[in-house]
Chain A
Amino acid sequence: MTSVALIAPSVAPGDTLVEIRAVSKRFGPREVLKALSLEIAAGEFLTLLGESGSGKTTLLRLIAGFEQLTAGEIWMRGSRLDALPPYRRRVNTVFQQYALFPHLNVSDNVAYGLRATATAKSEIAARVKDALEMVRMQEFATAKPTKLSGGQQQRVALARALVNRPELLLLDEPLSALDANLRKQMQSELKSLQREVGVTFLFVTHDQDEAMALSDRIALVRNGTLEQIASPREIYARPATAYTAQFIGQTNLLRAIIREGVADCGAFHFASALPQGSALFSVRPEAIGLANHAPSLSNLVRFSATIRQQIYSGATELLELQLATGATLRARIPSGAMLSGSHEFAFAASDAMPVRE
């Protein structure tokens, strides 16, 4: 993408741009959002991640104004957003199937928002040109959208939204219609475009890899509530709940009994500062390794297990382990020789993250 400074953000980066306060949405008897609260910082790339039906798209549509909220408030830069009709919100959307106007050519599609808001003709021409250059679509200016490939339509949809200099850009699974290779390419284009224009992006996806690759922060939505919001690194390394740990990446969930500062998992135990009682820990497969390869640290948790299966995937391989107690664990280790039988394994106690149910 060429470096065209399209947008001068009116809120300093990092300040709160949008505040979602206890928003609920009901469709008949179905409560899709349950008093969900969320703050979006100016200039950030925030991803709403969740399964289909979790309410993430509904939240996006509430912010765009396509749905009326049942309860709660949405604020943008100190004024109520939810009271405004969609055409008065300084928010633009990139739709899942792009929703380009089939009767207008590419440049008329991009000019649509500027014409609707009665922008001066000379300014429209210049801004449309800049926007098409930004997404490298200038040579298709007079083409009809139906003649374009998925990736090209995607770029036009981005230009059509960004040309209006929105304060917030909503993206509703915009990459889901593309094939795998193109999706990877569009991901990196999207990321660098967002850095360039500095517009706040609210991105909806059910693809956790996409969320990890693109986002400054990920908001994990589950059954209409916010499960956890954090940076990709944080949410992966320190999942707050068992659901988060399982949804983002793979994990082993270990149930333990805490007694006098020791977490007892049956097959092994380690020191823990948690209070007495039952607890759940998440240990990522890559935290577990063969004991003879592990550094000799004091807080190493050692156990022996039988290798049930070995799944090779290039640089690493996944081992399915069976403990003496019958429980199974998964370990991801650097690829090496074929293994079989019983081996000693280990993980650092600090890699066992306590998670809520």
Chain B
Amino acid sequence: MYTRTYKLVVSIPPILWVALFLLFPYALMLVHSFWSVRDGAIFHNWNLGNYRTLVHNPLYWQVLLRTARIAASVTCLSVLLGYPLAYFLSIHAGPRKELLYQLVIVPLWVSYLVRGYAWKTILGSDGVLNGFLQYVHVTREPVSAFLYSPFAVILMLTHIYTPFVFLPIYASLEHIPRPLIEASQDLGASPRATFFRVILPLSLPGLLAGATFAFVLSLGDFLAPLLVGGPSATMIANLIQSLFGAAYDWPLGAAISVVILVFTLAILAFAQRLEARWSFE
């Protein structure tokens, strides 16, 4: 068995890491959220003014709601794309499985930024999509509504997070013993009934993990709205960024961050409880 000293020594790096890069910044953020800014300087007067502002100023609510809506749309679309893909690969792909799996994974090796700029060139006024639409005479003028809209953000985030949704679903489908699927059919259930009564319930933990990934990551995304979103698609992370940057209102930015953090932790806790109930090990 390992000695106490050994255990202590190996646990120091992770403890230091978590304390230094997670707990300390979070504490700093929490403390800041109770301070305020006056004449361009931060005042250490403890108060709930920032949280009051959040409740009373509709601007923050609107951005928060939009962010949640975008994140929810991305989650739904990623699941709608990722689940059938994972289902096909795991259950029906046969010998082509490995190759197709790699093809799904490959985009993950490409930088997030590159993929963002790719969408810019596809959706822009002189972009690939507009060029095609004009070429086939669907439109005469370039459509400017594609880029710089919540639609563009949802599209880009869905593209980026679908593999993240696909992976845990695929893993949970691979985990289902194949005799269970045979047993279901053997007992008179059609392939459709087998899907809804056996395959779907047994893959719910993976579905949940994937959906949580997509939702939480989209919720905190600020690059997609920056690259393809425009003013009509500003998300909460952009707001926080501007409060910490140009606006120099760290306390308010910290207060919004705290709200988002609590919201995210609540979602994760809820997902974890559901997953515990749905797993059958």
Q: Are A103 and B201 also in contact (CB < 8 A) when A87-B190, A146-B280 are?
A: yes
Q: Are A93 and B201 in contact (CB under 8 A)?
A: no
Q: Which residues of B contact A117 (CB under 8 A)?
A: 188
Question: Distance (Å) between the CB of A167 and the closest chain B CB?
Answer: 13
Q: Are A102 and B202 in contact (CB under 8 A)?
A: yes
Whether a CB of chain B sits under 8 angstroms from the CB of A85 is yes
Whether a CB of chain B sits under 8 angstroms from the CB of A116 is yes
Interface residues of A in 117-165 (CB under 8 A from B): 117, 144, 146, 160-161, 164
Q: Are B185 and A102 in contact (CB under 8 A)?
A: no
Q: How many angstroms from the CA of A101 to the CA of B181 in the assembled complex?
A: 9
Which of A65, A66, A99, A146 lies in contact with B177, CB distance below 8 A?
Answer: A99
Question: Distance (Å) between the CB of B184 and the closest chain A CB?
Answer: 7
Interface residues on A, range: 20 to 34
Q: Are B180 and A101 in contact (CB under 8 A)?
A: yes
Q: Are A95 and B179 in contact (CB under 8 A)?
A: yes
Question: Distance (Å) between the CB of A144 and the closest chain B CB?
Answer: 8
Which of A65, A92, A97, A103 lies in contact with B187, CB distance below 8 A?
Answer: A92
Q: How many angstroms from the CA of A162 to the CA of B147 in the assembled complex?
A: 62
Question: Distance (Å) between the CB of A139 and the closest chain B CB?
Answer: 22
- Flag B174-198 by CB within 8 Å of A: 1 or 0 each: 0001011011111111110100011
Whether a CB of chain B sits under 8 angstroms from the CB of A113 is yes
Interface residues of B in 146-201 (CB under 8 A from A): 177, 179-180, 182-191, 193, 197-198, 201
Which of A65, A85, A99, A144 lies in contact with B183, CB distance below 8 A?
Answer: A99
Interface residues of A in 158-186 (CB under 8 A from B): 160-161, 164
Q: Which residues of B contact A64 (CB under 8 A)?
A: 182, 186
Whether a CB of chain B sits under 8 angstroms from the CB of A86 is yes
Question: Distance (Å) between the CB of B199 and the closest chain A CB?
Answer: 11
Whether a CB of chain A sits under 8 angstroms from the CB of B281 is yes
Q: Are B188 and A87 in contact (CB under 8 A)?
A: yes
Q: Are A99 and B193 in contact (CB under 8 A)?
A: no
Which of B180, B191, B201, B280 lies in contact with A99, CB distance below 8 A?
Answer: B180
Interface residues of B in 35-85 (CB under 8 A from A): none
Question: Distance (Å) between the CB of A82 and the closest chain B CB?
Answer: 15
Q: Are A95 and B280 in contact (CB under 8 A)?
A: no
Q: How many angstroms from the CA of A66 to the CA of B194 in the assembled complex?
A: 14
Which of B183, B186, B191, B193 lies in contact with A101, CB distance below 8 A?
Answer: B183
Q: Are B185 and A95 in contact (CB under 8 A)?
A: no
Residue of A whose beta carbon sits closest to that of B187: A113
Q: Which residues of A contact B280 (CB under 8 A)?
A: 102-103, 144, 146
Q: Which residues of A contact B201 (CB under 8 A)?
A: 103
Q: How many angstroms from the CA of A116 to the CA of B184 in the assembled complex?
A: 9
Question: Distance (Å) between the CB of A33 and the closest chain B CB?
Answer: 19
Q: Which residues of A contact B278 (CB under 8 A)?
A: 103
Residue of A whose beta carbon sits closest to that of B204: A103
Q: Are A116 and B188 in contact (CB under 8 A)?
A: yes
Q: How many angstroms from the CA of A100 to the CA of B187 in the assembled complex?
A: 11
Q: Are B179 and A99 in contact (CB under 8 A)?
A: yes
Q: How many angstroms from the CA of A65 to the CA of B185 in the assembled complex?
A: 9
Residue of A whose beta carbon sits closest to that of B194: A87
Q: Which residues of B contact A86 (CB under 8 A)?
A: 182, 185-186
- Flag A54-91 by CB within 8 Å of B: 1 or 0 each: 00000000001110000000000000000001111001
Q: Are A95 and B188 also in contact (CB < 8 A) when A101-B198, A102-B280, A103-B201 are?
A: no
Q: Which residues of A contact B188 (CB under 8 A)?
A: 87-88, 113, 116-117, 164
Residue of B whose beta carbon sits closest to that of A117: B188
Q: Are B189 and A112 in contact (CB under 8 A)?
A: yes
Which of B177, B187, B190, B281 lies in contact with A112, CB distance below 8 A?
Answer: B187
Q: Are A112 and B184 also in contact (CB < 8 A) when A103-B280, A146-B281 are?
A: yes
Q: How many angstroms from the CA of A86 to the CA of B183 in the assembled complex?
A: 10
Q: Are B182 and A66 in contact (CB under 8 A)?
A: yes
Q: Are A116 and B189 in contact (CB under 8 A)?
A: yes
Which of B177, B187, B202, B281 lies in contact with A116, CB distance below 8 A?
Answer: B187
Q: How many angstroms from the CA of A95 to the CA of B184 in the assembled complex?
A: 12
Q: How many angstroms from the CA of A41 to the CA of B81 in the assembled complex?
A: 50
Q: How many angstroms from the CA of A237 to the CA of B278 in the assembled complex?
A: 56
Known: A97-B177, A100-B183, A116-B189. 19 other contacts (CB 8 A): A64-B182, A64-B186, A65-B185, A65-B186, A66-B186, A86-B185, A86-B186, A87-B185, A87-B189, A92-B186, A92-B187, A93-B186, A96-B179, A101-B198, A103-B201, A116-B188, A116-B190, A144-B280, A164-B187
* A-B residue pairs, 7 tightest by C-beta: A113-B187, A102-B280, A99-B179, A116-B189, A99-B183, A116-B188, A86-B185
